[in-house]
A and B are shown apart, each in its own frame.
Chain A
Amino acid sequence: MWQTIIIQPMTNLLLWIYDILGHGPHMFGLAIILFTILIKLLTWPLNASQVKGAQAMQELQNDKEWQDIQKKYAKDKEKLAQEQMRIYKDRGINPFASCLPTLVQFPIIIGLYQSITRALSATPFDMLQLARTVYPFQNVENIIPLNSTFLWMDLGRPESIQILGFGLPTLAVIVALTTWVQSKLTMPASSNPNDQSAQMTKMMGVYMPLMLGWFALNFASGISVYFIISNLLGVAQYAATGRANWSNLFGGGKPSPAKKK
Chain B
Amino acid sequence: MKTKRLLLISLLMLGAIILSACSGRPLSNNWPGLAADAERAYMSSGSFIYSVNVENGREAWQYPSEADNKLLFYATPVLTQDGQLLIGSAGTNHPFISLNPETGKENWAENFSGAKGAWMASPLVFNEKIYAPNTDGFLYILDMEGKQAAAPIKLGGALWSTPSTDGTLLYVTSLDHNLHVIDPVQGVIKETIDLGGAAPGSPAIGADGVYVGSFASTVEFIQSNGNHEVITTAGNWIWGTPVIDGNTLYYADLDGIVYSLDIASGSQNWDGVQPDGPVVASLLVVGDQLYVATESGSFFALDREGKIAWEKIPGGKIYTSPVISGELILVAPYQAEFALVAYDVEGKQAWTFTPEK
Contact = CB atoms under 8 A, between A and B. Distances in A.
Contacts of B254: 131
A114 interface: yes
Contact of A203 (B5, B16, B118): B5
A184 interface: no
B31 interface: yes
A145 B15 contact: no
Contacts of A58: none
Contact of B8 (A114, A117, A131, A207): A207
Contacts of A141: 196-198, 215-217, 237
B200 interface: yes
A220 B200 contact: no
A117 B28 contact: yes
A224 to B, nearest CB: 12
Interface string A50-79: 000000000000000000000000000000
B200 A207 contact: no
Interface stretch (B19-27, B63-71, B126-134): B19-27
Contacts of A203: 5, 8
A104 B146 CA distance: 52
Contacts of B239: 124, 128
Given A110-B19, A204-B8, A145 B24 contact: no
A207 B6 CA distance: 12
Which secondary structure dominates where chain A touches chain B? helix
A234 interface: no
A156 B12 contact: no
A219 interface: yes
Interface in A158-185: 158
B24 A200 contact: no
A142 B162 CA distance: 23
B9 interface: yes
A215 interface: yes
Given A123-B74, A124-B120, A214-B16, A117 B215 contact: no
A85 interface: no
Interface in B139-181: 157-158, 160, 175-176
A191 interface: no
A199 B16 CA distance: 23
A128 B319 contact: yes
Nearest to B160: A124
Nearest to B31: A125
B85 interface: no
B12 A207 contact: yes
Given A123-B74, A211-B16, A106 B28 contact: no
A145 B4 contact: no
B200 A127 contact: yes
A18 interface: no
12 contacts: A123-B120, A124-B160, A124-B280, A124-B319, A126-B28, A128-B280, A141-B215, A141-B237, A203-B5, A215-B16, A218-B23, A219-B25
Given A141-B197, A141-B198, 12 more contacts: A113-B22, A117-B22, A117-B23, A117-B24, A117-B28, A122-B24, A123-B27, A125-B28, A131-B237, A156-B24, A211-B12, A220-B25
Interface of B: 1, 4-5, 8-9, 11-12, 14-16, 18-20, 22-25, 27-31, 74, 90, 118, 120, 157-158, 160, 175-176, 196-198, 200, 215-217, 237, 239, 254, 280, 319
Closest 3 CB pairs of A and B: A117-B24, A123-B30, A145-B175
